[in-house]
């Protein structure tokens, strides 16, 4: 698959999403779908995700962001779509954005 057929999804998940294992939930799903990128907590209490991969797999990740882990309460998920940059080789948890 060429990089041209891959996409980049940038999402911010709003709600009760910190302190409930949300980042590890996203990490597990991204790894199972062979998606690259990162997830991090934001200082405003939300969770930010930047992910790259095939569109159908990113759509599955996006559905999971709306659901979240059992103890999370998701109120809104923003989504921005771009062409993938190919800059990531894996998916990781980044430190909180200040």
pLDDT in tens, the chain (98 residues): 454 589 999 999 999 999 999 999 999 999 999 999 999 999 999 999 999 999 999 999 999 999 999 999 999 999 999 999 999 999 999 999 76
CB of 80 within 8 A of CB of 9? yes
Q: Examine residue 52 and state whether it is found in any structural domain, yes or no.
A: yes
Question: For residues 92 and 74, what is the distance between their CA atoms, to the nearest angstrom?
Answer: 21
Q: Examine residue 95 and state whether it is found in any structural domain, yes or no.
A: no
Q: Assign residue 19 a region: left if phi > 0, alpha if psi is -120 to 50, beta otherwise?
A: left
Q: Is 34 helix (H, G, I), strand (E, B) or coil?
A: coil
Q: Examine residue 4 and state whether it is found in any structural domain, yes or no.
A: no
Q: For residue 48, what is the domain's CATH number? A: 3.30.70.100
Q: Examine residue 50 and state whether it is found in any structural domain, yes or no.
A: yes
Those residues with Cβ within 8 angstroms of residue 19's Cβ, 6 or more apart along the chain or in another chain = none
What per-residue confidence (pLDDT) applies to 4? 54
What per-residue confidence (pLDDT) applies to 34? 97
What per-residue confidence (pLDDT) applies to 5? 85
Q: Structural domain of residue 73, as residue ranges?
A: 15-83
Give the number of domains in the chain. Answer: 1
Question: 36 burial class (0-12, 13-18, 19+ CB within 10 angstroms)?
Answer: buried
- Report the chain's C-alpha Rg in angstroms: 12
Q: Is 94 a catalytic residue?
A: no
**Annotated catalytic residue, options 23, 40, 70, 94:** 23
Q: Examine residue 8 and state whether it is found in any structural domain, yes or no.
A: no
Q: Is 41 a catalytic residue?
A: yes
Q: Examine residue 94 and state whether it is found in any structural domain, yes or no.
A: no
Q: Examine residue 75 and state whether it is found in any structural domain, yes or no.
A: yes
Q: Examine residue 96 and state whether it is found in any structural domain, yes or no.
A: no
What per-residue confidence (pLDDT) applies to 98? 67
**Annotated catalytic residue, options 8, 40, 41, 94:** 41
């Amino acid at each position: 698959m060429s990089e041209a057929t891959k996409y980049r999804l940038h999402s911010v998940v709003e709600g009760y999403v910190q302190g409930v294992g949300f980042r590890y939930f996203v990490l597990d799903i991204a790894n199972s779908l062979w998606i690259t990128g990162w997830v991090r907590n934001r200082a405003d209490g939300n969770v930010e995700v930047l992910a790259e991969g095939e569109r159908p797999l990113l759509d599955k990740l996006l559905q999971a962001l709306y659901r979240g882990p059992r103890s999370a309460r998701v109120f809104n998920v923003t989504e921005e779509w771009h062409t993938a940059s190919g800059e990531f080789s894996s998916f990781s948890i980044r430190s909180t954005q200040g």
